[in-house]
Structure 1
């Protein structure tokens, strides 16, 4: 959500920010609606004041035997005009609110300007991709050969873009999630949360999934939405709340199933677990003050990177361009893990600083030491996407005979150092 006062005072900067997102100028349309709305409110207030004054004057005139005809005519005009004006004011307010809710966040100045991912900037790399003495297989061939990754049976009951994991791969998925949660809670101070995975529309409006991304959501017949990320319930925990500054930053983590329609992804990653309708993710969310959010962003990225480093998976950290960022983000880093079968890095985590954009939509505020109220800054990131991490482990740790070496940090969770094919 955008600050109308800021747009009034910085209309040119607002339009310049939109231009970096490939959006035509909107400030004049917004300001015209705002001016019309304020004029309608002012007229309503004036008429309400006149109505109250006329009621007294009419009573006085009748009590003294004076002719109140002119006063009554004016009062009747106001009775007709006020409902019309109230309807007009509400229509203007709704149009203005709808427009503001549909506009993405303005990127920070340091974000590279560009139309798509080709303008992203690489910040750093970790690890060297492994050199194989055989042709590495994609994860879905490895999983199927192990007898523990089943797309066909999943499709019978659920359709395409679903998978069944069993035995050691199901255990590996659980081990990854437990490992991530343990690190984030015991070392990095995140509170583990078990949130609802069904939410109402106001929660999705709060974090920016609605109204623009309605087509990517799964919605029940009773009006609930299945979460596409636990960023939604974790961030909305602070909806309509005022947080004392000494409680900030708040840091939450959760491991939940996530559901996405994958609208617009036809033909992309049609095989395997990279792009499925249901997946699990360990999410990181921070709520903090405006002066700490940039530092918190770098810290969050470091927390997510630590997971990849301890799994000894090669990755790179990318600063996303304005055309590749999410709707609510002002700055985003993506972590991309190396997948040998694709000879490429693929996204495994996205860490975003949304500044006060989401907090304005949720009315989440904090009170500073002087008693003044400010909108909080919210941040979110994957710490990590569990399914994609499983994919990366399978591909990077595969052996020539089709077995999978278990990363050292996961062996206490797995009680084995190797996953072997079913004989």
Structure 2
């Protein structure tokens, strides 16, 4: 694509955008002047689908009209509400329907997965993670190490970029796995790093880890609904993700979990069990012997929050219409246009720390502005931009392809240009 740095070009791209109608399916926050804000923060919280209210009210109506009978009656019984969500998310992450379940929150799911898949042995007990992983992942893996009696100072291996660089090189990741793999029980990496926006080569990492006998899992909080994923074909052991970012399920929305089919019937894997993971045919016989569902659903513990699932269902119906191929196609054009416009500013103060290669990123650019501080972020916020600041010096901009336009991107860069005095 040959981009042009003009408003006319941005409008032309919007007019020819095959996904343009979906912008009207979402509510945009308003700026203080009453106009729509420039919302470029879908990597933190996706916008509310206009249909979410109807889906939630449908559950409320069933609860009101059916009471407890709503678990088994009505158009969408409460006991099976999650099933269609798992099937729809499976298509988003490249999995079989029995490998995916909607349940809990991301970090809860991560802990449940580590109960099953972090199996330390005498000489193989370490966990590999990226050093600048999202803090919750660091807390989770460190607490698991401590729970098993290990000191994170010696049992946690952290991937760091080379001196003077911001992103991790795949060859360095693979080299570390090759050299330390016999000590590593679990590789647990964010599929897309929240800070830099780097998308890791998950297939290569999985293959390298398995070659060395390691279990491999990914936190896809910033990858699910954003990247083309093929979790089943890549052979990933497990993955977890939230749905309130690119999948627009609302604050604290229900999370997702993937368990590869080679594990879903295993009897040797320990798990923290609960009755919602019990065989559906005998669940309500109230037997005290746990018989897990043969699928990712077997890791469920409690019946889930159907009201939260309703909001996710509203968004997933849109994903079903659009499809990940079309979504990622627009995402690459839109993010590429943002990159082109920022580079067109010609300022040595601006550095994009997100990889340049489209395959190595999603709908996010992390922008570092030298000799700046949070006052710049406050200034663009006062101009109606809703983005994200990360200490010490990075502004994360995420043009979500479902609802952001090329004009949004163009207007943002004009605001940035003015506030930088360029």
Range of TM-score over shorter length = under 0.3
Structure (1 or 2) with the greater strand fraction: 1
TM-score by length of 1: 0.20
Higher relative contact order structure (alpha carbons within 8 Å, sequence separation ≥ 6): 2
Q: Which has the larger radius of gyration?
A: 1
